[in-house]
Amino acid sequence: MAYELLTPREMAEADALTIADLPGGGYALMRNAGAAIAAVTLERFPQITGADILCGPGNNGGDGYVVARLLAETGIPVALWALGPARAGSDAALAAEACPVKARSLGEFRPEPSRLVVDALFGAGLSKPIAGDAALALQMTKESKAPVLAVDLPSGVSGDSGKILGASLPAAVTVTFVRNKPGHLLEPGRSFCGETIVADIGISKDVIAKIGPLAYENHPDLWLPALPYPAFDAHKYTRGHACVFSGGPSATGAARLAALAAARAGAGAVTVLSAPAAMQVNAAHLTAIMLRRIETEEELAAFARERKPSSYVIGPGFGAGERARRFTLALLRERNTGCKGIVIDADAITSFRDAPALLFDAAALPDAPSVVLTPHVGEFRRLFPDLAEGEAGSKLEAARAAARRAKAVIIYKGPDTVIAAPDGRARINANGTPFLATAGSGDVLGGIVAGLLAQGMSAFDAASAAVWIHAEAGSRFGPGLIAEDLPSLLPAILKDLFRQASERSA
């Protein structure tokens, strides 16, 4: 399976590169697309009494004309409703001419609950809000509860951002072509697509490679070879030493969640770094996790030189303010201690809301450890207010711009979590679950990242793997999940991943 995501611009480029060498040109691709849609229709909707095909004036509508012809040839009662004539001289015009079903005005369309609606009005490249007859047709179809199959994307969903442009219609099934688009995975587009099926229409892997997309669906196949498996002669420190900063005596739980997650993710040793006032509280709750008193930056520096931790997590329950800023900057400025990466989360992110350049400049220093920032939407807005307010256009582009600015890997959390690297690479997670919307869940995620960093995984792969594993744990547990449940689910998931890795290398 291929995991590249193509933006509408990249998809148009793939079409153009293929058409240049394809007998029959763009019309041949259109016939292939229509045939794929018709096949899915017959397979998934055998109970329909008929089909209403809604066609726009462009290539998406052209696909609809092909579908109408093919379904009519099978004997299914087909009605075709056009927003306007296909553009003169286009492939869509050729498809319309070849279609025996006479098109009626979209303004006359009235959906029926027993008939399938094939939404071929607009595809992934839509750039302006839907209005008029098209918006009315979508609304009536939604109210009728007729089953819907969307061509490429539900009309009104941006292929770049997943945002709704004016109006849209949720589909039971969406058939897209060659590769998914970002809008299939980014909310709210993802929720509008229903089941998404990627159809092969004759565009080769070589064409996709020539385009060189930088966005992918986050999947174990992308990072499984880098997932650390302990060597036969490993001991606890060769497996990595992760450290988590604790908050004060009334705010220690978040750090312990992160620490336990780091240990369950495979770090050989984990230490909670605690303020003096919280030592007794932490000591009463820790067994396999070690504990160290750290009150000042000088004590932190001495500890780093002595124990040479591989990774840190700072932020969960730590408290926002000057102390969090000082400790974070001290970690970024420390050298020759063996630190592979720092996870900056929660309160540590908020602590830089008034001076984000301090953080970004420190992360950009020569030989600085890798940085992973893990903001939810509110924390992202505090650190990147201009990007959060929509100037980047989509969550994907916002995360990429933030990663470039911060010189850090960004985990922009949510139901459609985006992982972005400073070099432009990005992965959109697709196995998210609402059961993770519970207090402390993010602390566990930060700990998983730190545990993988400690074992030598790159920041981008560690972040990608942690997000997927975290979501998989939430899905496996399901209803009733609380954050304390998550770390105990990690061993079984890791065991499954290691088994997959072994089978593929055999």
How far is Cα 486 from Cα 470, in angstroms, rounded to an integer?
8
411-414 contacts, C-beta under 8 A, 24 or more apart: 411/372, 411/373, 411/374, 411/375, 411/445, 411/449, 411/463, 411/466, 411/467, 412/375, 412/377, 412/380, 413/374, 413/375, 413/376, 413/377, 413/442, 413/445, 414/187, 414/376, 414/377
Per the listing, tokens 């505090």 go with 382
Q: Where are the alpha helices (DSSP H) in 288-355?
A: 297-307, 322-333, 346-350
- Enter the DSSP assignment of 318: T
Strand 370-373 versus strand 426-429 pairing type: unpaired
* CA separation for the pair 247, 277 (Å, rounded): 9
**Amino acid at position 60, single letter:** N
Structure tokens at 245: 């900063």
List, in sequence order, every residue forming a beta bridge with 168; answer none if it has no partner. Answer: none
Exposed, middle or buried by CB within 10 Å (0-12, 13-18, 19+), for 297? middle
Is 206 buried (19+), middle (13-18) or exposed (0-12) by CB count in 10 A? exposed
Beta-ladder partners of 230: none
- Under 8 Å between Cβ of 80 and 65: yes
Which three-class secondary structure state does DSSP give residue 196?
A: strand
Q: Which domains does the chain have, with CATH numbers?
A: 4-213 (3.40.50.10260), 235-505 (3.40.1190.20)
Q: What pLDDT sits at residue 268?
A: 97
Instruction: Take residue 392 and report the two structure tokens written for it.
Output: 């980047």
Nearest to 469 by CA among 497, 437, 450: 497
Q: Reduced to 3 states, what is the DSSP secondary structure of residue 188?
A: coil
pLDDT score recorded for residue 391:
55
Looking at residue 227, its pLDDT comes to 97
Contact 224, 202 (CB under 8 A): no
Instruction: Please state at what angle helix 441-454 crosses helix 459-477, rounded to 10 degrees.
Output: 140
Q: Over the Cα atoms of the chain, what is R_g?
A: 26
Altogether, the residues listed in the chain come to a count of 506
Report the pLDDT value the prediction gives residue 392, as an integer from 0 to 100: 55
**What is the widest separation between alpha-carbon atoms in the chain?**
81
Cα–Cα separations (whole angstroms), residue 366 to 335, 361, 362: 10, 10, 9
Nearest to 338 by CA among 310, 362, 372, 313: 310
CB 270 within 8 A of CB 263: yes
DSSP line for 20-66: TTSTTHHHHHHHHHHHHHHHHHHHH-TT-S-EEEEE-SSHHHHHHHH
Opening angle at CA 377, ends 376 and 379, nearest 5: 65
User: CA dist 441 to 178, 351, 416, 485, Å?
Assistant: 35, 20, 15, 10
Helix (H/G/I), strand (E/B), else coil: 386: helix
Distance, CA of 188 to CA of 210 (rounded, Å):
30
Q: What is the DSSP letter of 485?
A: G
Q: Report helix, strand or coil for 231.
A: coil
d(CA 449, CA 462): 6
CA dist list (Å): 129 to 125, 126, 150, 164, 273: 12, 8, 17, 8, 52
Per-residue pLDDT of the chain (506 residues; tens, 9 = 90+): 799 999 999 999 999 999 998 999 999 999 999 999 999 999 999 999 999 999 999 999 999 999 999 999 999 999 999 999 999 999 999 999 999 999 999 999 999 999 999 999 999 989 899 999 999 999 999 999 999 999 999 999 999 999 999 999 999 999 999 999 999 999 999 999 999 999 999 999 999 999 999 999 999 999 999 999 988 778 888 899 999 999 999 999 999 999 999 999 999 999 999 999 999 999 999 999 999 999 999 999 999 999 999 999 999 999 999 999 999 999 999 888 899 999 999 999 999 999 999 999 999 999 999 999 999 999 999 999 999 866 558 999 999 999 999 999 999 999 999 999 999 999 999 999 999 999 999 999 999 999 999 999 999 999 999 999 999 999 999 999 999 999 999 999 999 999 999 998 87
Give me the residue label for tokens 């309160």: 347
Residue pair 164/188 in contact (Cβ under 8 Å)? The answer is yes
Beta strands in 294-398 (DSSP E): 311-314, 341-344, 370-373
